[in-house]
Amino acid sequence: MGLKEEINYSLWCDFIERDFLENRFKEIIKNGIIQGATSNPAIFESSITTSVAYKQQLDMLQANNEKTIYEELALTDIKRAAFLLDDLHRKDADDGFISIEVDPLLCDDAAGTIEEGIRLYSSINAENVMIKIPATDAGYIAMRELTSRGINVNATLIFSPQQAIKCAQALDEGIKDSNKDIKAVISVFVSRFDRLMDNDLSNKGLQKSKLGIINATKCYYEVTKFENSNIRTLFASTGVKGNELNPSYYIDNLIYPNSVNTAPLATIEDWLTDGKKEQTAIMSEADCDKYFELLKDKGIKMEEVYEKLLADGLESFKNSFKDLLSKLKH
């Protein structure tokens, strides 16, 4: 029996590219390695601008504006991924999802996000698609509205427990309003904390590479308090950069019941070879809280850390999207 059957834990692949979909993606679905997939503006920017697999369709779309070109390219991939994941979704309604993000430039525009979310979901026309929405004030409004309309949502760029609570509240209300079996995930970013804070923590005599996991665990506890089985915590930003950590570190340490981990393909391959395949011992919520008290005593202001990471995350996705659109100009 695998982790999926034992504790409803799922591994999703955080990557999409056209040739990959027709090759390794099919294999890792067939072999039961992954149960879903995610995409984001940075992934599409990299795939579309570096892979020759898009050239033929790009040539055919040259008469259109750059956002239309992007959407046609991206939606072709998303529709294909949804088709390939459909059998999984039919067997288990929690899984077999592919996510596509709304235009990140709309992150502070609730009405625009809602309109685009509905349009993208209708264009793809597949039940196993999640619309990704950043966890901003406008995003919470959009999450609630889209789920109430029967659209699955992936709430993204969650860094703080407070964001996790606001997402869970919005999604819980929307799902209940929908009267449908709508699914949602709350994507808590992990490794970015350690990349930002490790040097500071080390200088203060604290252990490195722990903050991301403890913060993600606290967010996980906040989501589980809503007791809505249709909402799962998804651990994102789980790739390792550099050589100090085991490549599958952020998978190995976050194998929790009723959760998802979306990881880059290389991280999944490393996990298959050397990673842990059993549930992780979970730090108690009281111990998580004690850790944050310790950080406070050491002069670390977590609210400032959360604000910086969210601002940086939004800026990064906006820049990737703008860079891609500029490259699609003709």
**DSSP characters over 47-114:** HHHH-GGGHHHHHHTTTS-HHHHHHHHHHHHHHHHHHHHHHHHHH-TTS--EEEEPPGGGTT-HHHHH
pLDDT classification of 330: cutoffs 50, 70, 90: low
Q: In the annotation, is 132 catalytic? A: yes
Catalytic residue among 30, 55, 67, 132: 132
> Does the pLDDT of residue 56 top 90, yes or no?
yes
3-state class percentages of the chain: helix first, strand second, coil last, to nearest 5:
60, 10, 30
Residue 243: what pLDDT?
Answer: 83
- In the chain, the percentage of residues whose pLDDT exceeds 90 is 98
Give the mean model confidence (pLDDT) for residues 48-69.
96
Rounded distance, CA 324 to CA 326, Å?
5
Topology of 3-328 in CATH? TIM Barrel (3.20.20)
pLDDT tens-digit profile of 193-239?
999 999 999 999 999 999 999 999 999 999 999 999 999 999 999 99
Residue 1: what pLDDT?
Answer: 66
- In the chain, the percentage of residues whose pLDDT exceeds 70 is 99
Average pLDDT, rounded, for the chain: 97
pLDDT classification of 133: cutoffs 50, 70, 90: very high
